A = this chain, B = another copy of it.
Amino acid sequence: MAVIRIGIVGHGNLGRGVEAAVSKNPDMALAGIFTRRPPHTITPRDAATPVHTMDDLLAHKDAIDVLILCGGSKEDLPRQSPELVASFNIVDSFDTHARIPEHFAAVDAPARASKHAAVISAGWDPGMFSINRVLGEALLPDGATYTFWGDGLSQGHSDAVRKLPGVANAVQYTRPIKDAVERVRSGTRPVLSTREKHQRDCFVVLEPGADADQVREAIVAMPHYFDEYDTSVTFITAEELARDHAAMPHGGFVIRSGNTSDTQSQVIEYSLKLDSNPEFTASVLVAYARAVYRLHAMGHYGAHTVFDVAPGLLSPKSAEALRAELL
């Protein structure tokens, strides 16, 4: 079995998750971690894993089969993915849904020109949830698709609360509303408002002297983030936040319900219950790194998404073994 040599760019929660995921896949090895921070400040899971500065990345080109980009969608990936795909096969988790077509085009051109393969926007949403939205529509064209998120910690909404004046720290949990989920599961295709689908619960540590009522008002009225939801705000101490809210659980459901004829309705549900959002996202990135390695070997250059990757390419098993064991 050829070992696929993985490079990690960025060592936040997602990069650490990729380290863990690579260690679970015997057909993969970690070539190195590349960081903008001083390398000696990074502690890899396995002390033997080399840590380098980003400036040294190109010097390791021949030792890396696929680079997994673990930066953020706002600042890092729009710049890094197009730049690095000129020298490497890459996987990223670009998750700004509205800007995916633009990101795809920005990666596709340099990837084709340099004969590299890329999968962009891998993870679980976008990613596995997206696959299930496409399959749901294709299998039940006369139907409706519902995506619910949670119970889970939302990084973007937590950040939005943290930036408010008077807030020292905060976390925000997104929770699907059970009654809405049950109505969708029943196959009746309900029309649901934003407020009916999810609620948002915030746990906030105030700055000394901050006005709790003012902070609460600023949160619940925040446009796009909170104003369309029922939002609870609970004030806690820094100690409580550290003790009770350090985990990063998440998950959710994609439900497609539809009719195959007038009287026969069918319900498809895909659900995730994740102890660790970054570790699961990282596991998806690593499986797609295997696919990228194979796409490149087959001469399928350019940008791809999860929609373009056959399921078998994610597995370490051969097509023959998959047919015999798992079909």
Interface residues of A, Cβ cutoff 8 Å to B: 17, 20-21, 24-25, 97, 100-101, 104, 121, 126, 128, 130-131, 133-135, 137-142, 185, 187, 260-261, 263-276, 279-280, 282-284, 287, 290, 305-312, 314-317, 319-320, 322-324, 326-327
Q: Are A324 and B261 in contact (CB under 8 A)?
A: no
The residue that A275 contacts in the complex, of B265, B276, B310, with Cβ under 8 A, is B265
Choose from B121, B310, B316, B326 the contact partner of A130 (Cβ within 8 Å).
B326
- Shortest CB distance A320–B (Å): 7
Q: Would you call B273 and A266 a contact (CB within 8 A)?
A: yes
Closest chain B CB from A29 CB (angstroms): 15
Counted per complex, copies of this chain come to: 2
Q: Inside 8 A of A311's CB, which chain B residues have their CB?
A: 131, 134-135, 138, 306-307, 309, 311
Q: Is the CB of B275 within 8 A of A139?
A: no
Is there an interface contact between A307 and B279, defined as CB atoms closer than 8 Å? Answer: no
Answer whether A287 and B138 are a contact pair too, CB < 8 Å, given A266-B272, A272-B267. Answer: yes
What residues of B have a CB within 8 angstroms of the CB of A134 in the complex? Answer: 311-312, 314-315, 322, 326
Contact B260 A266 (CB under 8 A): no
A-B CB contact pairs (8 Å), 14 listed: A21-B260, A24-B142, A24-B260, A101-B320, A104-B323, A128-B135, A134-B312, A137-B326, A185-B273, A264-B279, A269-B270, A271-B271, A305-B327, A307-B322
- A128 partner residues in chain B, CB cutoff 8 A: 135, 139, 268
B307, A323: Cβ atoms under 8 Å?
Answer: yes
- Given A261-B276, A267-B272, 7 additional A-B pairs, CB 8 A: A130-B327, A135-B314, A137-B326, A139-B280, A139-B314, A266-B276, A269-B273
Contacts of A266 in B (CB 8 A): 272-276, 279-280, 283
Closest to A249 in B: B264
A101 and B264 contact, Cβ closer than 8 Å, known pairs A134-B311, A139-B287, A310-B307: no
A94 nearest in chain B by CB position:
B327
Return the chain B residue nearest A309 by Cβ.
B310
Contacts of A316 in B (CB 8 A): 138, 141
| B residues less than 8 Å from A142 (CB atoms) | 24
Q: Given the complex, which residues of B lie within 8 Å of A97, measured CB to CB?
A: 327
User: Which residues of the partner chain B approach A135 to less than 8 Å between Cβ atoms?
Assistant: 128, 311, 314
Smallest CB-CB separation from A254: which chain B residue? B270
Residues of B within 8 A of A314 (CB): 134-135, 138-139
Q: Which residues of B contact A20 (CB under 8 A)?
A: 260-261
In Å, the complex CA distance between A305 and B324 comes to 11
Complex interface: chain B residues within 8 A of A140 (CB): 283
